[in-house]
Amino acid sequence: MKPITIDKQDLKGYSVAPYNFVSLPPKAVVRYNHPNDLPAHNNFKSRDGRKLLSGTICYTLEAKTPIIVSAGEKDKNAYFFINSSGEYAIPGNTIRGFIRANTQILSFSNIIRGNNYEMSEIEDSKFLFRDIAGSNSLSKRYSQILSIDPNKRISRNLRTGYIFNENNKYFIKESEKLDEIRNYFRVDEIYLRKILDEKIIKDIKFMYLPKIIKFEDRIKNLNKIIYGRGSKNKQEIYKAHDEKKCILKDCKNGSYKPYNIEVSYSLDSKSARIIKIGSIGQYNEEGYLLSGGFIDGKMSHYIVPAPSIYSNIIEISQDNIRQYKDDLILTKKMSKSDEKIKSGDEFFNLPSIGNKKPIFFINTDRLHFGFTPYIRMFYSKSVLDEVNPSYKDVAGISYCDSIFGFSSTVLKKDNKEEIYSYKSRVSFEDVLVHEGAIVDKDTSMKIILAEPKSTSYNLYLKQEIGAGKKELNIYEGDFKIRGTKQYWLKDYIERPNIDKQNDNMIFTIHPLKEGTKFSGKIYFNNLEEDELGLLIWALKLEDNCYQSIGLAKPYGFGRVKVSDILLKLENLEKKYLEFSFDFMEDAEIDKYINIYKETFSNKYLNGKSIDEQKFIKEFIYIKSKVVNKKDANWYRYMNLNEFKDKKVLPSILEYADIINKDRMGLDKSRKTQYDKQNNKQNNKQNNKQKRNKSKDNYKNNKSFGNSIDLSNWYKGQ
């Protein structure tokens, strides 16, 4: 399959993505109230005496687009999984994974479990955020926490101090106060170069080259134009901005890295301004000189004075430490596997045992801390805090857990908490490839598996369509998560644009061609009729549905069709009473799917059809809608500029209506363009004919030149 490069069109008033979200159900359904109610593994009847079902489900998978299920990346390459017999195969755990996920959705199963969400399948993160210059709901909240003094243009709430590590417990001790607001110094880099002692210059990391000093007066004058009070010509301000930007760019030090260094300094007694900075012990005052990451236009370094002997000690909770480390991982400064800080990002690491580091913090309604003045703030709520209690707080055992099993789950019995485990009643064979499978060279290409994270609140939280930036929900106040992520199915392969991406995240995939077929088998033991129906439905879905398997689903890989489903049930009388080896009997799959739907609708939905539930409709729609390449613009990752607009991502069902309207508008635009070109061509042709007629006796009544036929142009778009 030849990959395509998407011709990106301007977006309308909403975001687009190769994924969307199936909503969580309004309530979670409990299939069994307690583990003691579950079927025993060694008994062919339920606790109520009903006959249980055991048997197998055989099926075929056909790849409708190239598919890559990898055993892992090696040397920047990902190849299709090969089993111990040397055959291409899809591991049984992969099949188990998508069927289990489907089962959770189709049965209203609670995937947010545990007293502190420790067993939740949606990670319960409490994110950090920073939005300094934006004009949206997040920047508004950020500004509120900082509380900027409009006259002095500094934060009323920001303080500095030192973070100490005592046996992996962290404490903050505040610095000496300079006035009622501030307890730190800001030092401009040009001024810093003038007051530094020569012996310490080599230890300082400068953002700009020494030649920046030559532009001191010019930068001051430009700053007066940019930041001075009073009305000015906007064009003059823009011009000053551009000139300053050019100066700083020309003087930028490409080898700059964030730093902190212990120093001593001297103050002017009248102005309380720093007049000299040197090594420890050289001057009367002591502290740390530091500067964080480079930002265009930044010229500030900071001095954090020594801790005050009168300041209180603030203990940092382990939850806050955990959240700070999670943020380092999220922002790629720390590796997740061993929690080691990455080379070049040591500035942002917490101090080791017995050591200290200068720190900025705000301690108002809650503690925020970081190593630069514009610290990343902690949200007040976690991802799962606002999930409906009728869903997340339901106790008992779901359909999904009863079929697939669970371990070390805490449940209450007689008001006492006890730990329970239950073995799965289903198992999955590896799915083996049919003969003739070949690697698709056309789609063997470099990809990057990176995407927006849950911090992207305009995408991951429920929002009102058309909401402005300042009206968007964030992880504060009342908000609702969108649900579980699902990828749109495609009939094409998109070639991603990876020109400027991090090389560490890029690798080459080697998928099998579309049309490749696999055969698999599921074993089940002691299932109730409705449980078997749910299992089959999760595998098959509806007749027009597909599953998605493997890597690179955002780019169209891994769309598969499940077919040739053969259900066989054990005839226990033949097996144990007649001792027959021919005890497996064919059974009708739709019979059990219908039993599940009817049982569920009657027992849990007051007779309302499960198929008519909104989130079930969302799920079936995204599993049946196959995106055509002419619509690719609406099902792609956004570029950085589009992402910055923070437009709302419509829900699955909203998406269909909105895109249909936009498609009609685009088709109309294309038709208008076609008509204009066609009319232009006709006019040109007519003019040629007129000129032709004016020539005496020269090919009378015949046109000359080549006529361009555009009759099929519009239809082919």
Mean per-residue pLDDT, 7-24: 92
- HSE at residue 7, side-chain half, CA atoms within 13 A, is 4
**CA angle 231-249-148, nearest 5°?**
45
Place of tokens 């740390």: 288
Answer with the residue of higher pLDDT: 114 or 323. 323
Do 702 and 677 have their domain in common?
Answer: yes
pLDDT at 690 over 80: no
Q: Mark which of 347, 378, 409 sits at the end of a domain.
A: 378
Place of tokens 């900027």: 148
Mean per-residue pLDDT, 201-224: 95
Do 699 and 590 have their domain in common?
Answer: no
Kindly indicate the confidence band of residue 70, based on its pLDDT and cuts at 50, 70 and 90: very high
Q: Is residue 194 included in any domain, yes or no? A: yes
**Mean pLDDT value across the chain:** 89
Is the CA virtual torsion 79, 84, 86, 88 positive or negative?
negative
Kindly indicate the confidence band of residue 118, based on its pLDDT and cuts at 50, 70 and 90: confident
pLDDT at 687 over 70: no
DSSP letter string, 81-150: -B-TTS-BEE-HHHHHHHHHHHHHHHTT-----STTSTT-SS-----EE--SS--SHHHHHHHHHH-B-T
Do 330 and 353 have their domain in common?
Answer: yes
Mean per-residue pLDDT, 144-155: 84
* Beta-sheet strand order (sheet of 274-278): 185-188, 300-305, 285-291, 259-267, 274-278
Query: What are the residue ranges of helices labelled H in 344-483?
Result: 389-392, 399-404, 457-460
**CA angle 472-478-484, nearest 5°?**
80
Do 165 and 180 have their domain in common?
Answer: no
Instruction: Give the residues across from 186 on adjacent strands.
Output: 302
Specify the pLDDT at position 684: 57
523-536 CB burial, b ≥16 within 10 A, e <16: ebbbbbbbbbbbbb
* Domain residue limits at 182: 176-206+257-306
Backbone angles phi, psi at 51, to 5 degrees: -70, 130
Are the CB atoms for 49 and 672 separated by under 8 Å? no
Between CA 364 and CA 602 the distance in angstroms is 52
Specify the pLDDT at position 717: 32
Among 224, 249, 220, smallest CA distance to 237 is for 224
Percentage of the chain exceeding pLDDT 70: 90
Kindly indicate the confidence band of residue 404, based on its pLDDT and cuts at 50, 70 and 90: very high
Mean per-residue pLDDT, 94-103: 97
Percentage of the chain exceeding pLDDT 90: 69
Place of tokens 């490069």: 5
Mean per-residue pLDDT, 16-26: 95
Between CA 84 and CA 107 the distance in angstroms is 36
Specify the pLDDT at position 424: 97
Specify the pLDDT at position 502: 64
Q: Is residue 386 included in any domain, yes or no? A: no
Mean per-residue pLDDT, 267-294: 94
pLDDT digits (tens, 9 = 90+) for 173-192: 999 888 777 899 999 999 99
Q: Is residue 213 included in any domain, yes or no? A: yes
Between CA 236 and CA 221 the distance in angstroms is 12
Specify the pLDDT at position 30: 96
Do 271 and 160 have their domain in common?
Answer: no
pLDDT digits (tens, 9 = 90+) for 487-540: 999 999 999 887 665 677 788 999 999 999 999 999 999 999 999 999 999 999
Q: Is residue 561 included in any domain, yes or no? A: yes
Kindly indicate the confidence band of residue 693, based on its pLDDT and cuts at 50, 70 and 90: low
Q: Mark which of 378, 402, 424 sits at the end of a domain.
A: 378
pLDDT at 461 over 70: yes
Between CA 67 and CA 84 the distance in angstroms is 20
Report the domain count for the chain: 5
Q: Is residue 11 included in any domain, yes or no? A: no
Do 227 and 297 have their domain in common?
Answer: no
Give the lowest-confidence range in 280-289, 365-374, 575-584, 596-605.
575-584
Do 315 and 360 have their domain in common?
Answer: yes
pLDDT at 700 over 80: no
